[in-house]
Amino acid sequence: MHHPTTMQKNDHPFDTDTRVEAIADGSFAATISDRWTALGGVVNGGYLLAACLQALRQMMPFPDPLVVSAFFLRPGTPGPAEVHTELARKGRRSATGQARLLQDGAETARVMATFTELRQSEGRTLLLSDRPDLPPPWEAVDPMAGRSLPGVTMTEMVEFRMARLPGWWHGRPGGDPSTEFWMRFKQHRDADLFSLALLVDAAAPAVLDIGVPASSTIELTVHLRAHPAPGWLACRARTRHVLGGYHEEDFEIWDTTGTLVAQSRQLALLPASR
Amino acid sequence: MHHPTTMQKNDHPFDTDTRVEAIADGSFAATISDRWTALGGVVNGGYLLAACLQALRQMMPFPDPLVVSAFFLRPGTPGPAEVHTELARKGRRSATGQARLLQDGAETARVMATFTELRQSEGRTLLLSDRPDLPPPWEAVDPMAGRSLPGVTMTEMVEFRMARLPGWWHGRPGGDPSTEFWMRFKQHRDADLFSLALLVDAAAPAVLDIGVPASSTIELTVHLRAHPAPGWLACRARTRHVLGGYHEEDFEIWDTTGTLVAQSRQLALLPASR
């Protein structure tokens, strides 16, 4: 069957840029692309995490990442990389492994992840918070319409729709680092669990609304809760506690059926003010 | 100076039960105690995490754990253990390492942690949420007064004070897994950053209030934000999203000066219902 408006899943930049190739037992070659840079031109951490998950996927006896934690040790650089994986434990219903992303022999990121088969989870379901309250995407504002941010190549890959533009966007930070918006890949690729691990880190940091220029991620934990339905994703990002520059950012992604599909928290650091 | 009511810090069960002894380069001997068991008689995950952090502390060039992630691979067992550590990266302001807790040759838990010196953090501070709204501890209810829970030895180590007892305590779960309470070690030991990593996992799971008997932790991430002031700790535990039995538990610990000192999130699983 022919899908004229839908790019084949594995031709999308997300798929080509996170593709890994086995080079030895548990080791994979990857190529870090320059198409996923964030504020300051740095390679996005969620993208590095997604590449590590694609390597772990090759050796895991279960298909779905469930919980992943990434420590970012050095800035990623566009160019060749290796991912060294290790299976730490294989159980009946889940397995846990580790991936180390190496560039020029130095470790860029270390990822631990538990995989399972989400569709076989049989326990109770109870959602006690509301999904983001947003106008339909086609009635919402595209913050990037006709614009681009120098060095921020991710805005060519991911698009957003908002009820209104955040204050910091106009140079008037409102002081409340808490936002809701729609998000999806450009070029017609629906999200899956692996790309959700990138998307939780794909928006501008919520703390920009307290008047800071940037935020750098130290650690990112992502819970993958359900396979997302096709289409737009409703997101909520929030920072409540900044101490000595360190702050958490909580992020939720809900699909259009009203299911929480991913939930993440990162610990990040404001740039030194001088 | 003599402190008649204060046990010397390193004589407290937390200190003796998380003590490690170097046995080789980066490897430590530990003894998992039976004094930190939770519901079902299982060794508490936060306690295993704290033991791993005590080992990492020995080889880290910075004194304070800042962000730690623990994956629990197998149930811990009272008895001998080894902790194998590795320094992944040493930077100017922080360092990141890994600890593997081994019992009988099998890996019980794997911990990644970034250490820093918190008192040297110079960035901005902004707290946008309120600390738990609780009556003074001496006017609050001690849920364990005159009681003990069979197999739950942690209740001899940690004590709680609540505005009122939760519904599940009386066999009438209220359906809202969200609680606030005071907590501290028994036997007069104030908390430090290392014990906060245990204390975020020391209370009964918030989900008991939806009528489930237990919850098992898969992964626990803890952000240590500030050295806690002496005395009682004000805590908030909350679960909002249960999907197929998997659920997050968010936990905050505030000290009596009104500072958020620790924030954690865990992914946990309800027991299979059959």
Contacts B196 to A, Cβ<8 Å: none
**Element spanning A49, H or E:** helix A45-59
Using CB atoms, which residue from A94, A114, A125 is nearest to B242? A125
Residue B261 φ then ψ, to 5°:
-105, -25
Q: What is the ipTM of this complex?
A: 0.95
Contact B260/A243, CB-based, under 8 Å?
yes
- What is the pLDDT of chain A when averaged over all its residues? 94
Using CB atoms, which residue from B74, B107, B123 is nearest to A269? B123
Q: What's the pLDDT at B257? A: 96
SS3 A32: strand
- For the ranges B14-23, B38-47, B78-87, B190-199, the lowest mean pLDDT is seen at B38-47
Contact (CB, 8 A) for B30 and B81: yes
- Report percent pLDDT > 90 for chain B: 86
Residue B186 makes CB contacts below 8 A (sequence gap 6+) with: B156, B157, B158, B159
Q: What would the mean pLDDT of B13-31 be, rounded to a whole number?
A: 97
For residue B273, name the pLDDT band (cuts at 50, 70, 90). low
* A145 vs A221 pLDDT, higher one: A221
* A259 vs B170 pLDDT, higher one: A259
Query: How many residue pairs bridge chain A and chain B with CB atoms within 8 Å of each other?
Result: 174
Q: Is 70 exceeded by the pLDDT of residue B4?
A: no
For residue B2, name the pLDDT band (cuts at 50, 70, 90). very low
Q: What's the pLDDT at A31? A: 98
pLDDT in tens, A211-221: 999 999 999 99
- Report percent pLDDT > 70 for chain B: 96
Using CB atoms, which residue from B74, B124, B248 is nearest to A263? B248
For residue B98, name the pLDDT band (cuts at 50, 70, 90). very high
Contact A112/B112, CB-based, under 8 Å?
yes
Q: Is 70 exceeded by the pLDDT of residue B175?
A: yes
SS3 A108: strand
- For the ranges A36-45, A62-71, B216-225, B254-263, the lowest mean pLDDT is seen at A36-45
Place of tokens 């390193």: B10
Q: Is 90 exceeded by the pLDDT of residue B111?
A: yes
Q: What would the mean pLDDT of A125-154 be, rounded to a whole number?
A: 91
**Which candidate, B159, B171, B176, places its Cα nearest to that of B235?**
B159
For residue A8, name the pLDDT band (cuts at 50, 70, 90). low
Q: What would the mean pLDDT of A237-261 be, rounded to a whole number?
A: 98
**Which residue of B lies nearest to A90 if distances are taken between CA atoms?**
B73
SS3 B264: strand
Q: Is 80 exceeded by the pLDDT of residue B9?
A: no
Q: What's the pLDDT at A272? A: 82
Place of tokens 């003599």: B2
Q: What's the pLDDT at A37? A: 95
Q: What's the pLDDT at B39? A: 81
**Element spanning A16, H or E:** helix A13-17
* A7 vs B52 pLDDT, higher one: B52
Q: What would the mean pLDDT of B131-137 be, rounded to a whole number?
A: 96
Q: What would the mean pLDDT of B169-198 be, rounded to a whole number?
A: 95
Please tell me the distance in Å from B148's CA to the nearest CA on chain A.
Answer: 29
For residue A5, name the pLDDT band (cuts at 50, 70, 90). very low
Contact A71/B94, CB-based, under 8 Å?
no
* A169 vs B198 pLDDT, higher one: B198
Cα of first residue to Cα of last residue in chain B, in angstroms, is: 58
Q: What's the pLDDT at A151? A: 84
Q: Is 60 exceeded by the pLDDT of residue B183?
A: yes
Q: What's the pLDDT at B185? A: 97
- What is the pLDDT of chain B when averaged over all its residues? 94
**Which residue of A lies nearest to B221 if distances are taken between CA atoms?**
A221
**Predicted TM-score (pTM) of this structure:** 0.95
* B22 vs A11 pLDDT, higher one: B22
| Distance (Å, whole) CA B52 – CA A253 | 33
Q: What would the mean pLDDT of A188-206 be, rounded to a whole number?
A: 96
Place of tokens 């237990």: B214
Backbone CA torsion sign across B46, B47, B51, B57: positive
Q: What's the pLDDT at A4? A: 43
Q: Is 80 exceeded by the pLDDT of residue B141?
A: yes
Interface test with A, best of B56, B60, B69, B103 (most A CBs within 10 A): B69
Burial class (CB in 10 A: 0-12, 13-18, 19+), A219: buried
